Amino acid sequence: MKKTIYILFILIVLSSCQSNKYLRFAIKEKYFLSENEKVLERTKTVITQYDKYNNNLEHQVPLEKCISASNYTIYFGIAINDTPQSMNKVYKQDKSHTIIKHQVDSTKKIIAYNFFVKKDADYNYKLIYKTAKRPVNTVVINLVSKDSSLVGNYFENKKIIFENLKYKPLK
């Protein structure tokens, strides 16, 4: 009986660890992975796709991490020498995409610039914010998909910030 209880306890601990898998980025930030998400290697193809949405002559945002699911990809980058405010201004003026919606959100801990854009055949939810845990970092997260309703849902519900990054929802 003791052996059965011990095995059951181990299985419960292991299953709880699996459901709390996360990706660490921007030194202290965590993104909690959904069951259908997997971490991708930073290959040349992944970096080329990512660069379409971030890097230009105005600012540089190297790719740090990347996650893929069946119908979307999420890219995590950290800006070099840019503030969220300056990146917001540049991105609003960028004519290489069409801005569908733009919103600025704030909590006691962060100010986030949110963009829902279309570029070529892709839709992109771009989130730009300064990390609360390490305020020297400007983080840029891009959720990219061909499904406009999926990306629009992420933009409207701020799912990435509130659920996966564990920030409290805005009022």
Strands (E), the chain: 22-25, 29-32, 38-39, 63-68, 73-78, 98-106, 111-119, 122-130, 138-145
Q: Are 115 and 124 in contact (CB under 8 A)?
A: yes
pLDDT of residue 15: 45
Report, as an integer, the average pLDDT of 130-159. Answer: 85
Q: Is the pLDDT of residue 48 over 70?
A: yes
Q: 67-126, pLDDT tens digit by residue?
A: 999 999 999 998 888 888 888 988 898 888 899 999 988 776 678 899 999 999 999 999
Which residue is associated with the tokens 């992944």?
Answer: 46
- Residue-range domains of the chain with CATH: 22-164 (3.40.1000)
- Vertex 5: Cα angle to 4 and 6 (nearest 5): 90
pLDDT in tens, 151-169: 998 888 876 666 777 665 4
Mean pLDDT score of the chain:
81
Which of the two residues, 125 and 17, has the higher pLDDT score?
125
Residue 152: partners with Cβ closer than 8 Å, 6 or more residues away: 100, 101, 116, 123
At residue 4, the pLDDT reads: 47
Residue 23 phi, psi dihedral angles, 5° rounding: -110, 125
pLDDT attached to residue 116: 95
Q: How confident is the model at residue 37 (pLDDT cuts 50, 70, 90)?
A: very high
